[in-house]
Amino acid sequence: MKTEPSIRPSEGLRHVRYEIRGRLARRAHELERQGYEIVSLNIGNPRAFGLRTPETMRLAMIENLGEAEGYCHQKGIFPAREAVVMQQQERGIHGVSVEEVFIGNGVSELIDLTLRALLNDGDEVLVPSPDYPLWTAAVTLNRGRAVHYPCRPENAFVPDPQELARLVTERTRAIVIINPNNPTGAVYPRAVLEALATLAERHGLIVFSDEIYDGMTYDGAAFVPMATLVHDTLCATLSGLSKVYRACGYRVGWAVFSGRTQPAAEYLNALELLSSLRLCSNVMAQWAVQTALGGHQSVRELVCPGGRLHDSRAAILTAVQRSRFLTLAPPEGAMYAFVGVNPAVLPDFDDQQFALDLLEQKHVLVAPGVSFNVPYRNHFRVTNLPDAATLREVFARIEELLGAYERAGHGAQAGGAVNVVSVASRLK
């Protein structure tokens, strides 16, 4: 019997991974088809937890349906790009016009396009560790090399600019900054951002500032737009409707370029060429941008005391404080917690095995820390999108599983665990 040759994937995918929607997520779908109810905390999808897009944004799209039936300009419709410019101006960012704004099918598409327009074989991009894994994947897919700079748990996941500076080489083209951070929830202090801006300007690096969670901060944490600090090199600010405006499915993001745009004219022309090749981004949803940015910012009600996201975050913090096993640098922004398991109590803990056991035995889906390009194996990420009661139940199940690990002899040691680890207060 003749054996059919297998169809092999591209070698370029060998080092590309996106475990957030990988093997564990596929297994979760299988369990759901078998009738199990899975609490899915692996993805920041507001709609899955009942958080609706503001009605005014939906109405803006409905009222402009007639204007959304054809292709638009490759950079996006004028009202959406103008609204982005106005937001930048309100934040103190000058010298930006609609010509420096590109609308894409979510920030995800723009990450790919901005890197594709920039990188040659072997070019290096400084990417945080942990990172949102699309950044590492997109650098790799576009022939570059992701050089990870550590954002250490013991430093509340805030990078050390001096340590980062030692990673710059003659092949370094850009630095990625994710603030507020996914997966850790860290909000970087102004002094750290100023040091990173100075570093980028000294070496002529492009700054890619991923600010998709810019409106989600807690307990007085101050978000500082990177473009207010970067003047003597090119800065690309990426944001969109997905998170702050709870509109993931609309697939609308933007990249706005500021700083030294004139010397970057060829690069921006290349980016426009790539934008033209995909014709345009989703036209209908672009009509929601002006209403979103110019209207009532309802996210503030969610992140303030008594708000859904604030109270869910508080439930996570309380659960960790009460745990013998868990550690956490309290997230100051975004919609996640990057939880650690204390190695003094469970020295043989493995994040991927834990995530699989938690799914199979407790029907909770989390993202193992190794998914976010870290060298250690004792963290996992959860989202704080569910209500507080759901999260209290989730962490009770986590505690049960970790207790079972300890009783089974996973190398538990005497002495107890240090619970919440936070040095954020002294970094500011």
What local confidence, expressed as pLDDT, does residue 256 receive?
98
pLDDT at 277 over 70: yes
Region 113-136: mean pLDDT is 97
Is residue 11 pLDDT above 90, yes or no?
A: no
| CATH number of the structural domain 55-294 | 3.40.640.10
CATH class of 11-51+301-427: alpha beta
pLDDT tens figures, 191-211: 999 999 999 999 999 999 999
| DSSP one-letter code for 217 | B
Distances (CA, A) of 247 to 9, 46, 164, 242, 332: 33, 8, 34, 4, 22
Residue 38 has pLDDT above 90, yes or no: yes
The reported pLDDT for the residue numbered 1 is 62
pLDDT band at 17; cut points 50, 70, 90: confident
Whether the per-residue pLDDT at 428 is higher than 50: the answer is no
Quick: pLDDT tens for 327-337: 999 999 999 99
Per-residue pLDDT band at 410 (split at 50, 70, 90):
low
Q: Looking at the predicted structure, is the pLDDT value of residue 352 above 50?
A: yes
Would you place residue 18 in the very low, low, confident or very high pLDDT band (cuts 50, 70, 90)?
A: confident
Q: In the prediction, which pLDDT does 284 show?
A: 96
Q: Residue 427: what pLDDT?
A: 32
> Do 308 and 292 contact (CB within 8 A), yes or no?
no
Encoded tokens for 206: 């492009």
Pick the closest to residue 380 from 357, 351, 413 (CA basis).
351
Residues 374, 90: Cα–Cα separation, whole Å: 36
- Find out whether 369 and 196 touch, Cβ atoms under 8 Å: no
Peptide bond into 150 cis (omega under 30): no
CA atoms within 13 A on the CB side of 9: 5
pLDDT of residue 6: 85
Tokens read off for 120:
């040659």
- Helices 351-362, 23-33: axis angle to 10 degrees equals 10
Check whether 299 has a pLDDT greater than 70.
yes
In the chain, pLDDT over 90 holds for what percent of residues?
87
79, 289 contact by CB (below 8 A): yes
State the residue for tokens 């897919």: 141
> Tokens representing 383?
């989202």
Could you give the residue range(s) of every CATH 3.40.640.10 domain in the chain?
Answer: 55-294
Q: In the structure, what pLDDT confidence band is assigned to residue 412 with cuts at 50, 70 and 90?
A: very low
